[in-house]
């Protein structure tokens, strides 16, 4: 049987990540995909990790779980799971944690199930391996799991192949698979990105419900601030491999301070807007991580960027409200920010003009 | 299923028509006369004798007449008999086929047995020393022609160590398994080497691609051991192109092990085919060709069926 590390009663965090770096060495340089990330997750809580494609959020979750094992990957820093350091542990040890302690739901259910292996076996092979169960016991568990993720006719599904199921069904299978050994920490890496909007809600609700029932900690990785809004306790916003803002969910939405977080929020289309309104994209592209800008990584796209931002990287501030820190010299809502905006607007900085256009558009509708 | 088989049969008929017609035409273009090989060297070659033999064998009929008369016999199940030995072509094939079939299956079996683990190892340890070493070995195996390797095997096992006879063939049915293996291991090994190289390359490259798949990452995230992932998750999706090549090789081996059969004095189908070509023994050539073409079509059908066994997405509902 699996042995639990630590106990449920303690108030120690379930997951503590400190100054984690993941570097990919490529032929023509190296990419720091995760660059000094620290975060904490308590038992039974949900942490949202938000950022654009390429911000390092997927690499972060895979690094925490120890799944980045390619030979060109260098990892430094610390990942403590229930008090136990995981960085540098042999993969054999990590494997014993995968399933009973931590599990992951991946982004694309169309490709994350093996097309030539029956659903029943995929659901329970690790249960049998970790818990040493027989075939008939495993089958019972598989049926119970499929029932718990609300798949109709679970008995019949055991002999089905993944291609005989819809995307939403497959993601339910993936969730059931991740939950099979009763993990205490679940990583959900963009679990709904590849799905229909109608199915997205069902899957997110299912995850939330399972998390509640099982008192799991969950790391919900997404590019969509809307997804994490009502479903997380704390949010970490990532940009170019770094945490740029971190706050309890309610605090973040009440008083976001980082211009990137603001940009992400503004880029969510609203139904209250007039039809055919131009989508509010963040100006420009994420930086090339092979040669990142010297100062603040967001400065080239930031409507408030000043000379200082381009030369000096702002540190993560000490929390002013509890648990709220950010990486910005001119945070949103300060007079300095307003002044920076005015001067950039007067100077005709393209991203500021773009942002101004967006502001005007939303003000008109309001 | 019935429709699949019907299409296959149609394809077989078309293939056989094309193959037999082309073989017949090619033989027509060959210089030489079967009569020359029929007559003993010291025979008194008179015009009358030659004419008589030609008439007996219908060699003077026009090309199309001869082809269609052969085709008519073939459809009735008569492949004719050898001009030279008088043995029926059907008997010749029945006599020689088991030998060639055994060589083909043995060499493919040996190659697969070694190549699949090697390919998996190479993919799993991609770029590390086990991969570098096997890749280098495979490169060497690819560049050695099988008859050179055959000569080496004879030198080593028969001449130096004297463990195995250099040539000859003991029939499985007459002399038993051990005696048979003594004569079959060397030619089968000689045939296996280059196949082994090709197979392990295929498995390695397909496996490397499969190991990049998301479902392999999923399997790893479930804490399954690497060996389990390699064999239970990655091997099947990585063996489709291997199946194709094994099928093609099998067909090729049935008709094309001439050099190895000659070198080891193995009385197989290829050996017989070459004899027949040398002596312009047209009916034997035709018969063996028909057999090989049929075998190819059958093998391809089997490979297609194996595809659907390997990948449920290909299965018809």
Distance from CA of A70 to the nearest CA of B (A): 10
Could you give the percent of chain B with pLDDT greater than 70? 97
Q: Is residue B48 pLDDT above 50, yes or no?
A: yes
Give the integer Cα–Cα distance in Å for B204 and A24: 24
Give the integer Cα–Cα distance in Å for B73 and B80: 7
- B contact test, residue of A112, A188, A194 with most B CBs within 10 A: A112
Considering only residues 172 to 201 of chain A, which have any Cβ-Cβ distance to chain B shorter than 8 Å?
174, 177-178
Tell whether A218 lies on the interface with B, counting CB pairs under 8 A: no
Judge whether B262 and B151 are in contact, CB under 8 Å. no
ipTM of the modeled complex: 0.85
Q: Within a 13 Å sphere around the CA of B150, how many CA atoms are in the beta-carbon half?
A: 23
Q: Within a 13 Å sphere around the CA of A7, how many CA atoms are in the beta-carbon half?
A: 2
Give the integer Cα–Cα distance in Å for A158 and A168: 16
Angle at A196 between CA A190 and CA A201, to 5 degrees: 70
Give the integer Cα–Cα distance in Å for B221 and A209: 22
Nearest residue of chain B to residue A61 (CA atoms):
B221
Tally of CB atoms within 10 A around B191:
28
Strand A185-189 and strand A102-105: the pairing is: parallel
Give the integer Cα–Cα distance in Å for B218 and B266: 51
* The most confident of B21-30, B199-208, B260-269, by mean pLDDT: B199-208
Residue B289 exposed, middle or buried by CB count within 10 Å (0-12, 13-18, 19+): buried
Judge whether A120 and A158 are in contact, CB under 8 Å. yes
* Predicted local confidence at residue A3, as pLDDT: 46
> Among A192, A196, A220, A194, which residue's Cα sits nearest to residue A104?
A220
Nearest residue of chain A to residue B224 (CA atoms):
A126
Q: Is residue B260 pLDDT above 70, yes or no?
A: yes
* Predicted local confidence at residue A268, as pLDDT: 81
Distance from CA of A191 to the nearest CA of B (A): 13
* Predicted local confidence at residue B317, as pLDDT: 45
Q: Is residue A2 pLDDT above 80, yes or no?
A: no
Of the two residues B46 and A345, the one the predictor is more confident about is: A345
* Predicted local confidence at residue A114, as pLDDT: 94
Of the two residues A3 and B187, the one the predictor is more confident about is: B187
* The most confident of A66-80, A263-277, A349-363, by mean pLDDT: A66-80
Dihedral angle computed from the Cα positions of residues B55, B59, B61 and B65, in that order, rounded to the nearest 10 degrees: 130
* Predicted local confidence at residue A279, as pLDDT: 72
The mean pLDDT value for B104-110 works out to: 95
Cβ distance B221 to A113 less than 8 Å, yes or no, reads no
Q: For B284, phi and psi rounded to 5 degrees?
A: -65, -45
Residues of chain B positioned with their CB less than 8 A from the CB of A104:
218, 221
The mean pLDDT value for A208-236 works out to: 90
Judge whether A78 and A251 are in contact, CB under 8 Å. no
Q: Which residues face B218 on adjacent strands? A: none
Contacts of A267 (CB under 8 A, 6+ apart): A279, A280, A281, A282
* Predicted local confidence at residue B41, as pLDDT: 67
Whole-prediction pTM value? 0.82
Give the integer Cα–Cα distance in Å for B135 and B119: 9
Helix axes B89-124, B282-310, angle to 10 degrees: 40
Judge whether A75 and A62 are in contact, CB under 8 Å. no
SS3 A73: strand
Distance of CA B33 to the CA centre of its chain: 29
Query: % helix / strand / coil in chain A, to the nearest 5?
Result: 35, 20, 45
Q: Within a 13 Å sphere around the CA of B271, how many CA atoms are in the beta-carbon half?
A: 19
* Predicted local confidence at residue B109, as pLDDT: 97
- A contact test, residue of B222, B225, B243 with most A CBs within 10 A: B222
The mean pLDDT value for A55-80 works out to: 91
Query: Which H or E run includes A309?
Result: helix A307-311
Q: Is residue A6 pLDDT above 60, yes or no?
A: no
Q: Is residue A327 pLDDT above 90, yes or no?
A: yes
Q: Which domains does chain B have, with CATH numbers?
A: 2-75 (no CATH), 93-316 (1.10.3720.10)
Cβ distance A115 to B214 less than 8 Å, yes or no, reads no
Judge whether A359 and A344 are in contact, CB under 8 Å. no
Angle at B7 between CA B1 and CA B10, to 5 degrees: 145
The mean pLDDT value for A164-179 works out to: 91
Average per-residue pLDDT in chain B?
A: 88
Q: Is residue B132 pLDDT above 90, yes or no?
A: yes
Average per-residue pLDDT in chain A?
A: 87
Q: Is residue B108 pLDDT above 90, yes or no?
A: yes
The mean pLDDT value for B88-117 works out to: 93
SS3 A72: coil
DSSP class of residue A326 equals E
Q: Is residue A176 pLDDT above 60, yes or no?
A: yes
- Count how many residues are written for chain A: 366
Give the integer Cα–Cα distance in Å for A347 and A350: 9
> Among B153, B311, B163, which residue's Cα sits nearest to residue B243?
B311
Q: For A39, phi and psi rounded to 5 degrees?
A: -160, 165
Tell whether A237 lies on the interface with B, counting CB pairs under 8 A: no
DSSP class of residue A235 equals E
CB-closest option in A67, A99, A100 to B217? A67
> Among B9, B28, B221, B152, which residue's Cα sits nearest to residue A98?
B221
- In tens, the pLDDT along B278-292 reads 888 888 988 998 888
- B contact test, residue of A114, A120, A174, A183 with most B CBs within 10 A: A114
* Predicted local confidence at residue B308, as pLDDT: 82
The mean pLDDT value for A297-315 works out to: 92
SS3 of B13-41: the string is HHHHHHHHHHHHHHHHHCCCCHHHHHCCC
The mean pLDDT value for B13-36 works out to: 84
Judge whether B245 and B96 are in contact, CB under 8 Å. no
Q: Is residue A187 pLDDT above 70, yes or no?
A: yes
Strand A84-85 and strand A102-105: the pairing is: unpaired
Cβ distance B218 to A163 less than 8 Å, yes or no, reads no
Cβ distance A95 to B214 less than 8 Å, yes or no, reads no
Give the integer Cα–Cα distance in Å for A166 and A240: 34
Cβ distance A129 to B215 less than 8 Å, yes or no, reads no
pLDDT tier, A1 (very low <50, low <70, confident <90, very high otherwise): very low
Distance from CA of B220 to the nearest CA of A (A): 8
- Using a CB–CB cut-off of 8 Å, the residues of B that contact A are 127-128, 213-215, 217-225, 228, 232-233, 236-237, 310-313
Distance from CA of A163 to the nearest CA of B (A): 7
The mean pLDDT value for A120-146 works out to: 90
Distance from CA of B206 to the nearest CA of A (A): 15
The mean pLDDT value for B91-114 works out to: 93
- Structure tokens of B262? 């000659």
The mean pLDDT value for A86-95 works out to: 89
Cβ distance B310 to A99 less than 8 Å, yes or no, reads no
The mean pLDDT value for A160-166 works out to: 92
Judge whether A45 and A16 are in contact, CB under 8 Å. no
Cβ distance A174 to B218 less than 8 Å, yes or no, reads yes
Cβ distance B223 to A99 less than 8 Å, yes or no, reads yes
Give the integer Cα–Cα distance in Å for A331 and A261: 11
Nearest residue of chain A to residue B308 (CA atoms):
A116
Distance from CA of A126 to the nearest CA of B (A): 6
């Amino acid at each position: 049987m699996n042995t639990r590390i630590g106990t449920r009663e303690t108030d120690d965090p379930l997951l503590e990540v400190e100054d984690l770096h993941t570097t990919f060495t490529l032929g023509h340089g190296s990419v720091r995909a995760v660059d000094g990330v620290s975060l904490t997750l308590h038992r039974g809580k949900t942490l949202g990790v938000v950022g654009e494609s390429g911000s390092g959020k997927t690499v972060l979750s895979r690094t925490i779980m120890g799944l980045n094992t390619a030979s060109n990957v260098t990892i430094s820093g610390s990942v403590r799971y229930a008090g136990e350091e995981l960085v540098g542990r042999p993969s054999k040890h990590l494997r014993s944690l995968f399933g009973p302690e931590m599990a992951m739901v991946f982004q694309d259910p169309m490709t994350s199930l093996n097309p030539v292996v029956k659903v029943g076996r995929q659901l329970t092979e690790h249960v049998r391996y970790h818990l040493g169960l027989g075939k008939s016991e495993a089958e019972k568990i598989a049926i119970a799991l499929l029932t718990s993720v609300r798949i109709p006719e679970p008995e019949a599904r055991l002999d089905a192949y993944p291609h005989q199921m819809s995307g939403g069904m497959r993601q339910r299978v993936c969730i059931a698979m991740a939950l099979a050994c009763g993990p205490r920490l679940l990583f959900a890496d963009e679990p709904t990105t590849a799905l229909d909007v109608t199915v997205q809600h069902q899957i997110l609700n299912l995850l939330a419900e399972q998390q509640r029932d099982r008192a799991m900690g969950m790391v919900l990785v997404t590019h969509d601030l809307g997804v994490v809004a009502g479903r997380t306790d704390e949010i970490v916003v990532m940009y170019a491999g770094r945490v740029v803002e971190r706050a309890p969910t309610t605090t973040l939405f009440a008083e976001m301070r980082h211009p990137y977080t603001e940009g992400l929020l503004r880029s969510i289309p609203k139904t209250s807007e007039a039809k055919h309104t131009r989508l509010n994209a963040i100006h420009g592209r994420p930086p090339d991580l092979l040669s990142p800008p010297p100062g603040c990584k967001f400065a080239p796209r930031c409507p408030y960027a000043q000379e200082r931002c381009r030369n000096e990287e702002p540190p993560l501030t000490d929390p002013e409200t509890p648990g709220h820190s950010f990486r910005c010299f001119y945070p949103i809502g300060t007079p300095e920010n307003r002044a920076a905006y005015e001067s950039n607007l007067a100077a005709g900085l393209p991203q500021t003009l773009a942002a101004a256009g967006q502001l005007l558009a939303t003000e008109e509708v309001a | 299923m019935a429709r699949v088989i019907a299409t296959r049969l149609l394809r077989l008929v078309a293939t056989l028509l094309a193959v037999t017609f082309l073989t017949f035409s090619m033989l027509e273009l060959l210089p030489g006369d079967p009569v020359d090989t029929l007559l003993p060297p010291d025979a008194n070659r008179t015009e009358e004798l030659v004419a008589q033999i030609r008439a007996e064998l219908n060699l003077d009929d026009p090309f199309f007449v001869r082809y269609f008369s052969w085709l008519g016999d073939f459809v009735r199940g008569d492949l004719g008999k050898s001009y030279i030995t008088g043995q029926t072509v059907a008997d010749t094939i029945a006599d020689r086929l088991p030998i060639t079939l055994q060589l083909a299956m043995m060499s493919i079996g040996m190659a697969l047995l070694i190549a699949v683990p090697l390919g998996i190892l190479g993919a799993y340890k991609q770029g590390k020393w086990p991969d570098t070493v096997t890749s280098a070995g495979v490169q060497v195996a690819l560049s050695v022609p099988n008859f050179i390797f055959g000569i080496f095997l004879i030198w080593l096992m028969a001449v130096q160590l004297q463990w195995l006879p250099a040539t000859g063939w003991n029939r499985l049915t007459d002399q038993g398994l051990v005696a048979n293996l003594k004569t079959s291991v060397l030619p089968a090994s000689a045939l296996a080497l280059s196949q082994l190289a090709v197979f392990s390359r295929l498995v390695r490259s397909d496996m490397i691609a499969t190991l990049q798949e998301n479902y392999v990452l999923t399997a790893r995230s479930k804490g399954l051991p690497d060996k389990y992932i390699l064999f239970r998750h990655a091997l099947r999706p990585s063996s489709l192109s291997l199946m194709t090549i094994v099928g093609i090789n099998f067909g090729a081996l049935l008709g094309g092990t001439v050099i190895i059969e000659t070198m080891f004095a193995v009385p197989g189908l290829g050996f017989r085919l070459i004899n027949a070509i040398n002596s312009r023994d047209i009916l034997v050539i035709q018969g063996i060709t028909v057999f090989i073409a049929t075998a190819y079509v059958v093998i391809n059908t089997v490979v297609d069926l194996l595809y659907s066994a390997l990948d449920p997405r290909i299965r018809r509902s």
